[in-house]
C-alpha cells in the first residue's frame, strides 16, 4: 500500500510557520490518511509573519492566524508548540525532541525557516532593548519598550525591507527613527538604485532619518541609554535598537543528519532532499528555478506556500514540479510595493511612470530582451502584467512600455 493511503503512516513536520502549516493542510487535501504532526519552538498559534513589521507592530489589531485552532482539529493535524527538535535520526526514521522524546516518521518535512542575524558588534550583547524582527515575541518586546520609553529614540540597523517597514510602523507609533545602512544605498541587495532613491525620499518625507554609509562598529551603554557608534565616528543615542541585517538559514538539523546543504537545504523539483523520505520547504531550501535556470534560496511567503503544496503532492505520489515565478510585497506608509521575478543578472532597467501620478510607477528589469523582474509601486496592473510576461517569456516592445500613453494591456506592449 502507498504510504499516504496507510492510516498508520506518520508525517512529521519540523517548523509550523507558513511553509509547515500549509504543508500540513495541503497534505490532507491530497489524501494523506495517516497522522500529521507539526512541531515548532514558537509557542504561539502559527501566525502570518509579514504583518509583524507592518500592521501588527503599528496597531492593536493582534495577530492574524494562519489557520484557526478549529481548523487543525477538523483536519486532525496535531500542533505541538513550544517544542524544539534536537536531532533527526535517518537510519531509525525518528526525530528526537528537546525533552528526549523520540518520535517516529514515515515522511519528514523540514520547514525550519531562518533566524535573524545578530551581527557581532562589540557591546550588542549588553546593550538595552536590542531586538530582531521575526516573531510575535519580538514585536511584543518592541511595543512594550516603546510604550515605556520617554524619548522613543529608535535606531534601526539595516535598511532592507524589514528595517524600512519597521521604520514606517514605529513612526506611526510616534517614535523618532534613525535607519543606519552600511551600504552606499538602502535596499542595495534587493533592488535597483531608482527604487532605493524612491524609498529614501519616502522615509525622509515621513520624518525618518535615513543614513547610508553607516557601518556600526560598537554599541555603548550608559545608564540604560545606548549609543550606537559608526566607523566614521558619528554616534546615535538609542532607547531601542532594532536589528534587520538579514537572516541565517536554520539548516543545522539537516546538516547534522547528513543532508546536502548548499546555501540552504538542497532539494529537487518536488522539494525532496537527498533522503527519499525527507522533504524541505520554504526559506530554508536551496532549489532549482526553471524560469531562471539556476538554484535559488528565497525568503518569501509565496515560496513557502507554493513549495509546501508541491511537497504535499509529491508525498502523496503525484508528480508535481515546482516552477513558480517568485513574488514579494512590502507595505510602507500608504505605498504598496509588489515585486515579481528575480532581477539578478539584469543589464537594463526601464521605468514606466503613469501620467500625473508621482507615486505610481514600475521598474522593469531586463537582461537584453528578456524580462527578468518587475517592481511596481502602487501599480498592481504593472505587477500582474509583468507576471504574465515573465511566465510567457514574452518579447516586449520597450519603447511602448515606456510610453504611458499606451494602455497597459498585454497586446499593446509586445513586439
Partner 1 sequence: MAKITFITRDNETIILEGTSGSVMQLAVDNGVPGIDGDCGGVCSCATCHVHVDVGHHLKTGEATEIETDMLELNDYANERSRLCCQIQISDAIDGIVLQVAESD
Nearest to 155 by CA among 245, 223, 222, 233: 245
**By rule CB under 8 A, what string of x and - marks binding of each residue 311-350 to partner 1?**
----------------x-x-x----x-x------------
Least distance from partner 1 to the Cβ atom of residue 93, Å:
31
In terms of C-beta density within 10 A (0-12 exposed, 13-18 middle, 19 or more buried), how is residue 120 classed?
Answer: exposed
Pick from 64, 197, 201, 215: which binds partner 1 (CB under 8 A)? 64
For residue 174, what are the β-bridge partners?
A: none
Residue with cell 525550519: 112
Alpha helices in 83-241 (DSSP H): 136-148, 161-172, 193-205
Q: Which is nearer to partner 1, 115 or 381 (CB)?
A: 381
Is residue 62 a contact residue for partner 1 (CB under 8 A)? no
Phi-psi region of 282 (alpha: psi -120 to 50; beta: other; left: phi over 0): left
- Backbone Cα Rg of the chain: 23
Q: How far apart are CA 220 and CA 224, in angstroms?
A: 10
Selected binder of partner 1 within 303, 332, 379, 394 (CB under 8 A) = 379
Contacts of 91 (CB under 8 A, 6+ apart): none
Binding mask 70-99 for partner 1 (x = CB under 8 A): xx--xx------------------------
Q: Which stretch binds partner 1 (CB under 8 A): 47-55, 157-165, 222-230, 262-270?
A: 47-55
Point out which span in 34-42, 201-209, 251-259, 299-307 binds partner 1 (CB under 8 A).
Answer: 299-307
Grid coordinates belonging to 299 = 525568503
Is the CB of 23 or the CB of 238 nearer to partner 1?
A: 23
Applying CB under 8 A, among 302, 354, 370, 400 the residue interacting with partner 1 is 302
- Residue 67 as a binder of partner 1 (CB under 8 A): the answer is yes
75 or 183: CB nearest partner 1:
75
Distance CA 116, CA 131 (A): 10
Q: Give the start-end residues of each E strand in 181-234.
A: 209-211, 216-222, 225-230
Interacting residues with partner 1 (CB under 8 A): 48, 50-51, 64-65, 67-68, 70-71, 74-75, 301-302, 305, 327, 329, 331, 336, 338, 379-381, 383-385, 387-388, 410
Amino acid at each position: 500500500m502507498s504510504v499516504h493511503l496507510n492510516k498508520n503512516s506518520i508525517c512529521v513536520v519540523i517548523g509550523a510557520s507558513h511553509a509547515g502549516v500549509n504543508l500540513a493542510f495541503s497534505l490532507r487535501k491530497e489524501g494523506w490518511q495517516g497522522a500529521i504532526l507539526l512541531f515548532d519552538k514558537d509557542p504561539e498559534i502559527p501566525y502570518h509573519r509579514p504583518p509583524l513589521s507592518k500592521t501588527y507592530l503599528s496597531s492593536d489589531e493582534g495577530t492574524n492566524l494562519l489557520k484557526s485552532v478549529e481548523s487543525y482539529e477538523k483536519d486532525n493535524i496535531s500542533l505541538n508548540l513550544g517544542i524544539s527538535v534536537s536531532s533527526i535520526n535517518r537510519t531509525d526514521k525518528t526525530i528526537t525532541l528537546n525533552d528526549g522524546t523520540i518520535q517516529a516518521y514515515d515522511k519528514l518535512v523540514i520547514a525550519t525557516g531562518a533566524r535573524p542575524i545578530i551581527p557581532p558588534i562589540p557591546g550588542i550583547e549588553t546593550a538595552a532593548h536590542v531586538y530582531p524582527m521575526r516573531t510575535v515575541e519580538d514585536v511584543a518586546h518592541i511595543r512594550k519598550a516603546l510604550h515605556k520609553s520617554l524619548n522613543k529614540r529608535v535606531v534601526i540597523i539595516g535598511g532592507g525591507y524589514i528595517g524600512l517597514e519597521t521604520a514606517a510602523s514605529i513612526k506611526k507609533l510616534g517614535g523618532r527613527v534613525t535607519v543606519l545602512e552600511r551600504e552606499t544605498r538602502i535596499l542595495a541587495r534587493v533592488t535597483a538604485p531608482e527604487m532605493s532613491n524612491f524609498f529614501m525620499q519616502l522615509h525622509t518625507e515621513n520624518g525618518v532619518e535615513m543614513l547610508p554609509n553607516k557601518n556600526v562598529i560598537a554599541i555603548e551603554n550608559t545608564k540604560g541609554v545606548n549609543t550606537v557608534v559608526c566607523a566614521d565616528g558619528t554616534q546615535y543615542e538609542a532607547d531601542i535598537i532594532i536589528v534587520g541585517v538579514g537572516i541565517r538559514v536554520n539548516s543545522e538539523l539537516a546538516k547534522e543528519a547528513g543532508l546536502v546543504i548548499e546555501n540552504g537545504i538542497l532539494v529537487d523539483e518536488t522539494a525532496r532532499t537527498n533522503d527519499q523520505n525527507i522533504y524541505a520547504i520554504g526559506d530554508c531550501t536551496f532549489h532549482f528555478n526553471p524560469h531562471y535556470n539556476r538554484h535559488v534560496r528565497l525568503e518569501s511567503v509565496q515560496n513557502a506556500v507554493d513549495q509546501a503544496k508541491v511537497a504535499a503532492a509529491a508525498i502523496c505520489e503525484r508528480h508535481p514540479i515546482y516552477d513558480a515565478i517568485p513574488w514579494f510585497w512590502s507595505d510602507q506608509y500608504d505605498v504598496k510595493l509588489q515585486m515579481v521575478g528575480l532581477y539578478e543578472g539584469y543589464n537594463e532597467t526601464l521605468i514606466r511612470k503613469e501620467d500625473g501620478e508621482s507615486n505610481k510607477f514600475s521598474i522593469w528589469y531586463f537582461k537584453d530582451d528578456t524580462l527578468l523582474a518587475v517592481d511596481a509601486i502602487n501599480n498592481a496592473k504593472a505587477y500582474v502584467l509583468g507576471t504574465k510576461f515573465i511566465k510567457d517569456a514574452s518579447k516586449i516592445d520597450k519603447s511602448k512600455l515606456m510610453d504611458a500613453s499606451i494602455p497597459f494591456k498585454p497586446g499593446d506592449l509586445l513586439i
